[in-house]
Amino acid sequence: MTLHVLRPGLLMTVQDMGRHGHQHVGLCPGGAMDPIALALANALAGNEPGTAALEITVLGPDLQFDRDTLVALVGADFEAEMPLNRPVLIAGGSRLSISRAARGARAYLAVAGGITVPEVLGSRSTYLPGGFGGLAGRVLKRGDALPLAENSEALSRERFERLKRKRGSSVPWSVPSFTVPAREPIVLHAIEGEHFGDFDANMQRAFFETVWRVTPDSNRMGYRLGGPTLARAKTDEIISGPTCLGSVQVPADGVPIALMADHQTTGGYPRMAEIASADVPRLAQIAPGGTVHFARCGLDMAAELRKDARTRLETALRGIAWAYGN
């Protein structure tokens, strides 16, 4: 079974939850920029949360399935010829058009049985800087044929049959997109980074008072934040150290960079702040031109945010399991 790319959209890649345990050799986990949306999309298609799906960015694709296929599109509010955030049975041979995101930046199209490109280092995620994973390690283009599970049609029918309250090819309910902002600027909780104290009081204040704009050269490696340039008061050289998903570095040009899924594992730039892990998927939903604002937080608050996010996700997953009669 095959999924055909008729028109690729802006930046479409295969992603799952990433490859873990390789940061000591310089390879970041990568994977879905918004793992919450990926988990929900997969659950709606009857898959395990980390099953490989399509990550669709800002401008969506035109796709065609060989056979009837159960899918779900979750995340940014895309204009599409299918209802969002719910299971949908797409008829074989029909063209599925996904247009542009009215709100948010990324959505995940999960397919019953998953996208079965080969695993590389335990993951099907596309890692663009290294050119591996996904389909040939690259962004998807027109004419690509993505392999689906052999039994994807049977799985799709069997799962769709199990769903309660069906209407036509879908259901009258949907799950909320937790990570997609209702309004901007969004608030990102940030812990002071190792070098926060190297910036003077004005710079520190500017960091927390500015409404930062995500610049057009932002990508899966990092988001550059336009606003006042930040200058470090101390000029001694920083010895290269490890970085983390959500680290906010300030290079010499003073434009902060928030490290995203495909980030480098080490860096020699001062780290001004570290975004609370629960907030990183929300940042992934901000498109270039969108705005963010930082609020100071500590480890306790970060733990609360994780707990809230986990509770919301688990509640939604339980609801989906119930709809499948589990």
Partner 1 sequence: MAKFEPLSAVTLGDCAIYVEFSKTLDLEVNSAVQRLARMVHAKALPWVRDVVPALAGLAIHFDPDHPEVFGDATSASLKAIDDCLKQGLPKEDDAGRTVEVPVCYEGEFAPDLPEVAAAAKVTPEEAVALHAGSEFRVLMIGFAPGHPYMAGVNPKLAVRRRATPRAIVAAGSVAIANDQTVVYPYAISGGWNIIGRTPLAVFDAGREQPSLFAAGDRVHFKPITRAEFQKYRK
Binding residues (CB under 8 A) for partner 1: these are 20-27, 120-121, 127, 129-133, 191, 193-194, 239-247, 264-267, 271, 274-277, 299, 302-303, 306-307, 310
Rounded Cα–Cα distance for residues 106 and 34 (Å): 8
Q: Which is nearer to partner 1, 143 or 268 (CB)?
A: 268
Q: Which is nearer to partner 1, 9 or 270 (CB)?
A: 270
- Give burial (CB, 10 Å; 0-12/13-18/19+) of 266: exposed
Smallest separation (angstroms) from partner 1 to the CB of 263: 11
Rounded Cα–Cα distance for residues 134 and 124 (Å): 5
Smallest separation (angstroms) from partner 1 to the CB of 45: 26
CB 33 within 8 A of CB 281: yes
Q: Are strands 241-242 and 266-267 parallel, antiparallel or unpaired?
A: antiparallel
Q: Which is nearer to partner 1, 93 or 118 (CB)?
A: 118
Smallest separation (angstroms) from partner 1 to the CB of 294: 13
**Residue 55 vs residues 42, 106, 134, 166, 197: alpha-carbon distances, Å:** 12, 7, 11, 27, 38
Q: Which structure tokens are listed for 233?
A: 């008061």
Smallest separation (angstroms) from partner 1 to the CB of 217: 14
Q: Which is nearer to partner 1, 158 or 217 (CB)?
A: 217
Smallest separation (angstroms) from partner 1 to the CB of 130: 5
Give the amino acid at 273: A
Rounded Cα–Cα distance for residues 50 and 153 (Å): 20
Q: Which is nearer to partner 1, 23 or 169 (CB)?
A: 23
Q: Which is nearer to partner 1, 3 or 248 (CB)?
A: 248
185 cis-preceded (ω within 30 degrees of 0): yes
Smallest separation (angstroms) from partner 1 to the CB of 260: 13
